[in-house]
C-alpha cells in the first residue's frame, strides 16, 4: 500500500507495514552481526595476541585484513553479482560472513586468522549496498532516505551494544566464542532474509559490464573522494578517543565505556535523523552535515577540556554518522543502473576514511603536536571534503538543481 506516512510502511510494492518491519529487522540482524564483527576485534586484540603467541602489532594486522577485504569485496562482488536477484544475493553474502566468523572456532595461527578476517570483510560492503538498494526499492522515492537509515540501524546498534557485548563474551568465554556467536547471529539473519525479504529481481539491463561502465564516471569517483576525505575527520578523532579524553579531559579510564556508549547513541540518533534529512533535501544535507562535522571537529579539542563538554562533544561526534544515508543515495544515483555497486562503494570509501583518519591522527601525535591536534587535523579533512563537494556541485550535471532526492 502506498501512503504519505514517512514510516517504513510507505512503499509502492504492496507490502504491509508489518511485513516491511520484518524486512528491516531481518536486514538489521545481519547488519548488527557484520558491524559487531568489524568493531569487536579492537577490544579482543590482546587476548588474540596471547592465544596465537604473536605481538600486539601483528594482531593489529587482523584489523587491516578486514578493511582490505571490505575495499576489495565491495566492488568485486557487486559487479560479479549484477544479475543475481537481491534476496538471493543478500542471503549468500550474509551466509559467507557468518561462516567466515564461525571458522574462528577452528582456525589456528596468524596466517589462518588473516585469511578468515579477509574473507569476513569481503561481503561487508556488498551486503550493505544490496540491503540499502533493497530497502529503498520497497518504499516510495520520497522515503528512501529513511529506508536506508532503517537498514543502517543494525550497523549503528553494533557500535552501541554489539561491540561491548561481544567483547564481554570474548573476555568471559574466550575470543573464539565471541566470533562464533557473531557468526551464528549472522546465519540466523540470513535465514530470516530468506523467508521475509521479498524477491526483488535485478534490473533487466544489469550486467557485470554495465556495472563496470559506471566506474568510468568521473563524478562517481569525485563523490567517493568526498566520502573518503570528508568522513575521515570523524575517524581521526574517534580512533584515539580514549587516549584523548583521559589526559585532555581528565577522564577516568574506567568510564571510557560511557563515552563510547554516548558516541554510539549519537550515531543511532544521527542515522535516523540523517535519513529524514536526506529525503527532504539530499544535496543540502550533505553540504550542511559536512560543514557541521568540520565546525565540530575544529572545536573538539577545546570542548574536550572538561568532562561535561567532552561527553557532549563525543555524543555530537557520533552524530556525524547522519551523513551516511545521504552519501549512499548520492552514490546510488550517480551509479545509474549499477545502484548496488554505488551503495557498496560507499562502504569502501568509509573504510578508506577510517584508515586515512587514523593514520593522519597517528602522524600528528607522533610529530609531538599532542592530542589537541586531532580535532584540528579532523577539521582539515572536513574542509577537504567540503571543497571536493563544492567542486562536485559546480561540475556535475547529475545533481545541479536537485536538492530533493527525486532521482
**Model confidence band, residue 260 (pLDDT cutoffs 50, 70, 90):** confident
Mean predicted confidence (pLDDT) in 341-357: 88
Can you give the pLDDT at residue 223?
A: 95
Q: What number does CATH give the domain 207-407?
A: 1.20.1250.20
**Model confidence band, residue 354 (pLDDT cutoffs 50, 70, 90):** confident
37 has a pLDDT exceeding 80: yes
283 has a pLDDT exceeding 90: yes
- Name which of 114, 148, 122 is nearest 351 in CA terms: 122
| Comparison of pLDDT for 403 and 119, the residue scoring more | 119
105 has a pLDDT exceeding 60: yes
Can you give the pLDDT at residue 261?
A: 85
Can you give the pLDDT at residue 401?
A: 39
User: Secondary structure of the chain: what % helix, strand, coil (to 5)?
Assistant: 80, 0, 20
12 has a pLDDT exceeding 60: no
Asked if the domains at 1-202 and 207-407 fall in one CATH topology, the answer is yes
Q: Which of 8-17, 249-258, 310-319, 331-340 has the lowest mean pLDDT?
A: 8-17
Give CA angle at 380 (378, 382), nearest 5°: 70
| Comparison of pLDDT for 199 and 72, the residue scoring more | 72
- Residue ranges covered by each domain of the chain: 1-202, 207-407
Return the SS3 of 61. Answer: helix
245 has a pLDDT exceeding 50: yes
Residues 6+ apart with CB under 8 A from 295: 379
Check if the beta carbon of residue 279 is closer than 8 Å to that of residue 269.
no
Average model confidence (pLDDT) for the chain?
86
101 has a pLDDT exceeding 90: yes
Can you give the pLDDT at residue 204?
A: 65
Mean predicted confidence (pLDDT) in 215-236: 91
Mean predicted confidence (pLDDT) in 56-66: 81
126 has a pLDDT exceeding 70: yes
Can you give the pLDDT at residue 289?
A: 96
Check if the beta carbon of residue 116 is closer than 8 Å to that of residue 100.
yes
The domain defined by 1-202 folds into: Growth Hormone; Chain: A; (1.20.1250)
Residue that has been written with the C-alpha cell 561502465 in this structure? 213
Q: Give the dihedral of Cα atoms 188, 154, 163, 257; nearest 10 deg.
A: -150
Can you give the pLDDT at residue 5?
A: 39
11 has a pLDDT exceeding 50: no
Can you give the pLDDT at residue 15?
A: 53
Residues 6+ apart with CB under 8 A from 345: 74, 75, 78, 125, 129, 220, 224, 331, 335
Q: Which of 89-103, 218-232, 334-348, 386-400 has the lowest mean pLDDT?
A: 386-400
Q: HSE on the CB side for 131, CA within 13 Å?
A: 38
Mean predicted confidence (pLDDT) in 392-403: 64
Distance of alpha carbon 109 from alpha carbon 52, whole angstroms = 6
Distance of alpha carbon 177 from alpha carbon 161, whole angstroms = 17
Q: Which of 119-123, 369-373, 385-389 has the lowest mean pLDDT?
A: 369-373
Can you give the pLDDT at residue 406?
A: 40
Distance of alpha carbon 181 from alpha carbon 102, whole angstroms = 8
Q: What is the Cα gyration radius of the chain?
A: 20
Check if the beta carbon of residue 325 is closer than 8 Å to that of residue 343.
no
DSSP 173-213: H-HHHHHHHHHHHHHHHHHHHHHHS---PPPTT--HHHHHH
Integer angstrom CA distances of residue 77 from 123, 297, 330, 367, 391: 7, 35, 20, 40, 30
226 has a pLDDT exceeding 90: yes
Distance of alpha carbon 237 from alpha carbon 231, whole angstroms = 11
**Model confidence band, residue 58 (pLDDT cutoffs 50, 70, 90):** confident
Can you give the pLDDT at residue 54?
A: 86
Q: How many residues does the chain have?
A: 407
Give the burial string for 82-111 (b: 16+ CB within 10 Å, else e): bebebbbbbbbbbbbbbbbbbbbeebeebe
Return the SS3 of 155. Answer: helix
Can you give the pLDDT at residue 63?
A: 80
Question: For residue range 174-223, what is the model confidence (pLDDT) as tens digits?
Answer: 999 999 999 999 999 999 999 999 887 776 666 676 677 777 888 999 99
Can you give the pLDDT at residue 397?
A: 62
Can you give the pLDDT at residue 398?
A: 47
Amino acid at each position: 500500500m502506498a501512503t504519505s506516512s514517512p514510516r517504513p510502511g510507505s512503499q509502492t510494492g504492496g507490502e504491509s507495514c508489518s511485513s516491511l518491519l520484518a524486512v528491516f529487522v531481518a536486514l538489521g540482524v545481519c547488519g548488527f552481526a557484520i558491524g559487531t564483527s568489524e568493531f569487536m576485534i579492537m577490544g579482543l586484540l590482546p587476548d588474540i595476541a596471547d592465544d596465537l603467541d604473536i605481538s600486539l602489532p601483528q594482531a593489529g594486522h587482523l584489523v587491516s585484513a578486514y578493511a582490505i577485504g571490505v575495499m576489495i569485496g565491495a566492488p568485486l562482488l557487486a559487479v560479479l553479482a549484477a544479475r543475481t536477484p537481491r534476496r538471493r544475493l543478500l542471503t549468500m553474502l550474509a551466509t559467507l560472513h557468518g561462516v567466515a566468523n564461525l571458522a574462528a572456532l577452528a582456525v589456528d595461527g596468524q596466517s589462518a586468522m588473516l585469511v578468515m578476517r579477509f574473507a569476513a570483510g569481503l561481503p561487508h560492503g556488498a551486503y550493505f549496498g544490496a540491503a540499502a538498494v533493497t530497502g529503498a526499492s520497497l518504499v516510495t522515492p520520497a522515503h528512501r532516505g529513511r529506508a536506508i537509515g532503517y537498514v543502517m540501524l543494525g550497523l549503528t546498534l553494533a557500535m552501541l551494544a554489539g561491540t561491548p557485548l561481544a567483547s564481554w563474551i570474548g573476555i568471559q568465554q574466550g575470543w573464539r566464542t565471541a566470533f562464533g556467536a557473531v557468526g551464528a547471529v549472522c546465519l540466523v539473519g540470513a535465514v530470516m532474509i530468506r523467508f521475509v525479504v521479498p524477491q526483488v529481481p535485478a534490473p533487466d539491463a544489469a550486467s557485470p559490464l554495465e556495472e563496470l561502465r559506471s566506474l568510468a564516471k568521473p563524478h562517481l569517483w569525485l563523490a567517493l573522494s568526498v566520502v573518503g576525505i570528508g568522513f575521515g575527520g570523524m575517524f581521526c578523532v574517534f580512533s584515539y578517543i580514549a587516549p584523548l579524553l583521559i589526559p585532555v579531559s581528565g577522564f577516568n579510564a574506567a568510564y571510557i565505556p560511557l563515552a563510547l556508549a554516548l558516541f554510539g547513541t549519537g550515531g543511532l540518533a544521527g542515522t535516523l535523523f540523517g535519513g529524514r534529512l536526506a529525503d527532504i533535501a539530499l544535496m543540502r544535507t550533505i553540504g550542511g552535515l559536512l560543514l557541521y562535522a568540520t565546525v565540530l571537529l575544529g572545536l573538539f579539542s577545546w570542548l574536550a577540556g572538561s568532562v561535561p563538554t567532552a561527553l557532549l562533544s563525543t555524543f555530537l561526534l557520533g552524530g556525524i554518522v547522519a551523513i551516511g544515508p545521504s552519501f549512499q543515495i548520492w552514490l546510488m544515483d550517480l551509479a545509474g543502473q549499477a545502484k548496488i555497486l554505488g551503495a557498496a562503494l560507499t562502504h569502501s570509501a568509509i573504510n578508506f576514511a577510517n584508515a586515512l583518519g587514523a593514520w593522519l591522527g597517528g602522524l600528528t601525535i607522533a610529530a609531538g603536536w599532542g592530542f589537541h591536534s586531532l580535532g584540528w587535523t579532523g577539521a582539515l579533512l572536513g574542509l577537504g571534503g567540503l571543497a571536493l563537494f563544492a567542486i562536485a556541485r559546480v561540475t556535475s550535471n547529475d545533481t545541479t538543481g536537485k536538492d530533493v532526492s527525486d532521482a
